[in-house]
Amino acid sequence: MSNLPTVAEVAQMIDHSLLRPELALDDVLAGCDLAAEYAVASVCVKPADVEAAVERLAGTGVLVGTVVGFPHGSATARVKAAEARAALSEGARELDMVLNIGRLRGGQDDVVLDDIRAVVEAAPGAVVKVIFENAYLTDAEKIRACRLSEQAGAGYVKTSTGFAPSGATLADVRLMRANVTDRVRVKAAGGVRTLDVLLEMTAAGASRFGATTTAAMLDELAARRAGRGIRGSCA
């Protein structure tokens, strides 16, 4: 079991996702409590839930993140920047923004660059993660998105929202890791529901994960490290 990361190490790779549209505020607060219990890196909540999450997680060390231009990326750069400023004013410290997918596919790289840069500049001190929504992109488009995100000053490139036809894949994680410098990290989201998938994607180059099965994955890791192997129990 010594080759496995510790539970604390993996917990600090997880953004506990609370983005489903049907979640009531009580559901979000319960998710915040779970995030605090497991000491994950952050929660990622809907913009309307930021203030409540910040209050709930005060003093726990768990950061609050939210989304910008979610889930389709089609808002204007001005609107996305306003979303970013509002989120920071309410206590968010990490922002997962969806780039303008249609403009990227249309070859309008200058528009995509300005779109990402508007959020980065509106959020000094915050971590900005750029969501590509890879289900809709070719590999060449993903590579361009990597380079534009880094040029704009983003801290992470991210595979997916979790709301498209498919989510993170090992091939995409490897491609994205290969096309940004060490300054930019890779976040995998969408379908990261088991410990084995998380560990495989870590080996492929991801260092942060959007997850809803946080407790199951971390409990399984604890069990494996204790020698009570229960592989596949959180599938």
Which residues form the catalytic set?
96, 158, 187
CA distance 204 to 197: 10
**Residues recorded for the chain:** 235
- Tell me the HSE value of 56 on the side-chain side, using a 13 A CA sphere: 22
Give the amino acid at 135.
A
Centre a 10 Å sphere on the Cβ of residue 203 and count the other Cβ atoms it contains. 11
Beta bridge partners of residue 65, listed in sequence order: 44, 94
> For the chain, how far is it from start to end, CA to CA, in angstroms?
20
Q: Strand 14-18 and strand 208-211: pairing? A: parallel
